[in-house]
Amino acid sequence: MSFSEIFQYDFIVRALIVGSLVSLCAALLGVTLVLKRFSMIGDGLSHVGFGALSISMALGFAPLILSTPIVILAAFLLLHINNNSKIKGDSAIAIIASVSLAAGVIVTSVTSGISVDVFSYMFGSVLAISDSDLIITVILSIVVLILYLIFYNPLFGVTFDENFSKAGGVNVSLYKMLIAFLTAVTVVIGMRIMGTMLISSLIIFPALSSMRIFSSFRSVVISSAAISLICFLAGLYLSFIWNLPAGASVVMVNFAVFCIMWVTGKITRRTA
Partner 1 sequence: MDQIIIKKLTMQYDSYPVVCDVSFTIKQGEYVCIIGENGAGKSTMLKGILGLKPIKSGAISINMPKDKKAIGYMPQQTDIQRDFPASVYEVVLSGCLCNKKFISFYNKTDKQRALDSLDKLGIMNLRHKSYRNLSGGQQQRVLLARALASNPGLLALDEPLTGLDPAASLEFYSMLRKINKEQGITILMTSHDIHSAMSQSDKILHLSHKLEFFGTPEEYLKNDISKKFVR
Under the rule (CB under 8 A), what is the footprint of partner 1? Answer: 35-37, 150-154, 156-157, 160-161, 163-170, 211, 214-220
Q: Smallest gap, in angstroms, from Cβ of residue 174 to partner 1?
A: 12
Using DSSP's 3-state secondary structure scheme, residue 272 falls into: coil
Q: Smallest gap, in angstroms, from Cβ of residue 170 to partner 1?
A: 6
Answer for the pair 244, 238: CB distance below 8 angstroms, yes or no: yes
Classify the C-alpha dihedral 134-140-141-142 as positive or negative: positive
**Nearer CB in complex with partner 1: 163/243:** 163
DSSP per-residue string spanning 6-67: HTTSHHHHHHHHHHHHHHHHHHHHHHHHHHTT-HHHHHHHHHHHHHHHHHHHHTT--HHHHH
* Dist. CA 202–CA 251, nearest whole Å: 7
Q: Smallest gap, in angstroms, from Cβ of residue 154 to partner 1?
A: 5
Q: Smallest gap, in angstroms, from Cβ of residue 200 to partner 1?
A: 20
**Nearer CB in complex with partner 1: 59/87:** 87
Q: Smallest gap, in angstroms, from Cβ of residue 46 to partner 1?
A: 23
**Nearer CB in complex with partner 1: 40/97:** 40
**Nearer CB in complex with partner 1: 128/178:** 178
Answer for the pair 58, 228: CB distance below 8 angstroms, yes or no: no
**Nearer CB in complex with partner 1: 109/173:** 173
